[in-house]
């Protein structure tokens, strides 16, 4: 049985500085107290990681208004076709009074792309109704369906998709966002939906269009009723992407919302220097100027948050040496590396040198072969775990036998009695060839001791005999 070296090592808190992946980064008390944000609730996240950079009431229940049309757009992309021509049906007559509409007419032929465009730019509730009907007909294979049934089925589809995207505290009952007491969401949930939308090139391309002018569809079919859309109707409602006083140079979208119950709201997206941010503003109270006019605050709120994110956070490169290390074991070295690594991490700029690395090596018996899991590592920022990975050996560690490093598989069984293993190790050590010189010295010493013992005993017997003879 081979000699085993018991490795009992716990490397707790091996500290190395660098930046990286925070689940949630909140504004400081000073930042929040100095904030000019007028919104009742808001959130700012980094799109690629979903990290929360700032928020207030981000899990508070709110009414989504037309911001939820982003989810409707996602379902359109998943179930309908951009180049298909759809015919507007009687579903447009079900739109509640007071809805925003693009004035579709019965029998109008509209391309899939324009149908999508009409819910993103001018926020047509009548367009949303057409999408509901066409989506459910496509999914069910039915030729006709009542709008009541179609809307109920579409709402189920919306709620299911929302949960898949991580929007777990929302409930949707219609595709337009028209107010309903049982239709609600949170800024956080809307941000998760917006993250998915930012992955869709078509949605983001349309969301960045300030105006649109053109026919409802391009068709050679003489039976198709083609409408003409004009910039006066097809104008983006998101003023952040326009060139006016509320324009923001880095804005890329996405969707506004307003009802009396939801207040002035917006999902604002922006990109700068490779960083994608999402700000959700809910119920931003207007500012009353000196003349008594109500000035919308949602644009300023969104711009303030986006600039805050761009100015204070960035993707920082990660020192790759954080993911490798080694430890000494007697005369050998066990080298290991993380099974997962990351090249960049999005964090606050001043935290770039505050990363703490912690490594835990499992209690193991040698030999250890290359590729075996030997422990785990984690990165921490301000005491919060921001990254974790298993560690695998990149070198083999065995024992020295006859001057050769052995990495053969051990016949050690985890069920083997430890005491038996202990005495076996002693026996193996004593009878190893490398111990022969020690054995020879030991034997010589033993023979010397025996010789001295015999000599002492002989002398003692001689004295006893001499004394006895002299007495008599």
Report pLDDT digits (tens) over 356-378: 888 888 776 667 888 888 888 88
Region 50-76: mean pLDDT is: 96
Separation between Cα atoms, residue 262 and residue 184, nearest integer Å: 10
Residue 115: is the preceding peptide bond cis (ω within 30°)? no
Q: What are phi and psi of 83, to 5 degrees?
A: -95, 5
pLDDT at res. 414: 37
Under 8 Å between Cβ of 362 and 402: no
Both tokens of 73, joined, read: 């757009």
Under 8 Å between Cβ of 384 and 35: no
Full-model pTM: 0.72
Check whether 19 has a pLDDT greater than 50: no
Helical segments of 64-217, H only:
69-79, 112-120, 125-140, 147-164, 187-198, 201-207
Give the full edge-to-edge strand order of the sheet including 52-56. Answer: 52-56, 39-46, 275-284, 265-272, 251-257
DSSP 1-19: -----EE------------
C-alpha distances in Å from residue 129, one per residue of 35, 138, 213, 221, 330: 39, 14, 22, 24, 74
Question: Other CB atoms closer than 10 Å to residue 401's CB: what's the count?
Answer: 15
Q: What percent of the chain has a predicted confidence (pLDDT) above 90? A: 51
pLDDT at res. 429: 53
- Lowest-confidence range among 20-29, 256-265, 427-436? 20-29
DSSP 263-297: -SEEEEEEEETTEEEEEEEEEEPPEE-TTSPEEP-
Check whether 318 has a pLDDT greater than 90: no
Check whether 417 has a pLDDT greater than 60: no
Q: Comparing 301 with 448, which gets the higher pLDDT?
A: 301
Average per-residue pLDDT for the chain: 82
- Lowest-confidence range among 18-22, 184-188, 305-309? 18-22
SS (H, E, C) 411-442: CCCCCCCHHHHHHHHHHHHHCCHHHHHHHHHH
The sign of the CA dihedral 55, 60, 62, 64 is positive
pLDDT at res. 232: 73
Under 8 Å between Cβ of 250 and 59: no
Under 8 Å between Cβ of 266 and 255: yes
Check whether 151 has a pLDDT greater than 60: yes
Separation between Cα atoms, residue 299 and residue 276, nearest integer Å: 18
What spatial distance separates the first Cα and last Cα of the chain, rounded to whole Å?
A: 66
- Lowest-confidence range among 78-82, 227-231, 242-246? 227-231
- Lowest-confidence range among 33-42, 61-70, 94-103, 451-460? 451-460
DSSP 8-state assignment for residue 179:
-
Helix axes 125-140, 147-164, angle to 10 degrees: 90
């Amino acid at each position: 049985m081979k000699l085993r070296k018991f490795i009992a090592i716990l490397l707790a808190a091996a500290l190395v500085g660098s930046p990286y992946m925070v689940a949630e980064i909140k504004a400081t008390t000073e930042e929040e107290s100095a904030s000019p944000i007028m919104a009742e609730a808001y959130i700012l996240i980094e799109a690629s990681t979903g990290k929360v950079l700032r928020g207030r009431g981000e899990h508070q229940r709110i009414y989504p208004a037309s911001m939820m049309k982003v989810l409707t757009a996602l379902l359109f992309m998943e179930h309908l076709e951009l180049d298909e021509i759809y015919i507007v049906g009687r579903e447009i007559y079900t739109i509640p009074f007071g809805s925003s509409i693009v004035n579709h007419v019965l029998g109008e032929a509209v391309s899939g792309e324009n149908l999508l465009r009409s819910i993103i730019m001018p926020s047509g509730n009548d367009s949303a109704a057409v999408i509901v009907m066409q989506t459910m007909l496509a999914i069910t294979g039915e030729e006709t369906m009542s709008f009541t049934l179609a809307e109920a089925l579409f709402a189920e589809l919306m709620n299911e998709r929302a949960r898949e995207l991580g929007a777990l505290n929302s409930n949707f009952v219609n595709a337009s966002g028209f107010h309903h007491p049982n239709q609600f969401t949170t800024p956080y949930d809307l941000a998760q939906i917006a993250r998915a939308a930012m992955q869709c090139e078509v949605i983001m391309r349309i969301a960045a269009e300030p105006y649109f002018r053109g026919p409802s569809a391009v068709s050679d079919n003489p039976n198709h009723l083609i409408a003409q859309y004009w910039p006066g109707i097809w104008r983006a409602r998101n003023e952040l992407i326009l060139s006016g006083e509320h324009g923001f140079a880095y804005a890329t979208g996405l969707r506004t919302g307003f009802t009396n119950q939801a207040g002035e709201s917006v999902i604002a997206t922006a990109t700068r220097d490779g960083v994608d941010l999402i700000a959700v503003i809910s119920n931003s109270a207007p500012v009353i100027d000196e003349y008594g006019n109500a000035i919308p605050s949602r644009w300023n709120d969104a711009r303030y948050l986006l600039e805050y994110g761009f100015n204070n956070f960035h993707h920082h490169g990660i020192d790759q040496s954080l993911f490798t290390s080694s430890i000494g074991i007697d005369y050998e070295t066990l080298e290991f590396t993380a099974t997962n690594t990351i090249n960049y991490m999005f964090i606050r700029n001043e935290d770039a040198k505050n990363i703490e690395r912690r490594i835990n090596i499992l209690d193991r018996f040698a030999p250890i072969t290359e590729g075996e899991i030997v422990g785990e590592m984690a990165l921490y920022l301000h005491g919060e775990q921001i990254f974790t990975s298993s560690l695998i050996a990149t070198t083999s560690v065995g024992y020295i036998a006859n001057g050769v490093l052995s990495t053969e598989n051990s016949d050690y069984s985890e069920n083997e009695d430890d005491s038996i293993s202990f005495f076996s190790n002693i026996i193996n050590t004593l009878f190893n060839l490398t111990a022969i010189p020690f054995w020879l010295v030991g034997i010589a010493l033993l023979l010397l001791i025996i010789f001295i013992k015999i000599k002492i005993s002989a002398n003692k017997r001689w004295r006893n005999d001499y004394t006895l003879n002299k007495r008599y």
